[in-house]
Chains A and B, each alone.
Chain A
Amino acid sequence: EDQVTQSPEALRLQEGESSSLNCSYTVSGLRGLFWYRQDPGKGPEFLFTLYSAGEEKEKERLKATLTKKESFLHITAPKPEDSATYLCAVLIPTGANSKLTFGKGITLSVRP
């Protein structure tokens, strides 16, 4: 069965303390891995798409990387405004179409 696991469930950092969020997957026929940010009371906001092992994407203090079994979202020198839930999802084929399977998310809190 296709699965996406994110760890840790929650992470508390001091402002400026860099860290990484993990997303591991067991999927047949991966068509891409995606990271989202979700603020309380809002829908997810798309961050990155990764398609092949070794690929990296960066945006401000965030950098996403992909291997054959997992992805990391590295946060460099985080600020309180980076506090949110970070979701990863994998796109898997379903017959002629495809669908997103999400992990349960990592709640990040950054203290000033």
Chain B
Amino acid sequence: GAVVSQHPSWVICKSGTSVKIECRSLDFQATTMFWYRQFPKQSLMLMATSNEGSKATYEQGVEKDKFLINHASLTLSTLTVTSAHPEDSSFYICSATSTSSDTQYFGPGTRLTVL
């Protein structure tokens, strides 16, 4: 199956700092990438949808100025958590689809802990 990577796999930062998470599709071109968040013992919740070369579409309740998404190429999307707070601590997972498929392939996730 298709391979999606994420970097870093985990990060610990101080409150008020910004953290960037990268998501890459390694063996296919991802026209669309998605960012999800998963709190402990809960399911994945979609945060935003990002299409290459255009602005991301955010789900209701997700602050676009806090969670900056950039999809600069067909293989890379980045999520920047700005001015992180402890309540932003979570597991952030990206996924990607190719041009015509509904199947989303997930990256391994990034565990963010904000102190």
State whether these chains interact.
no
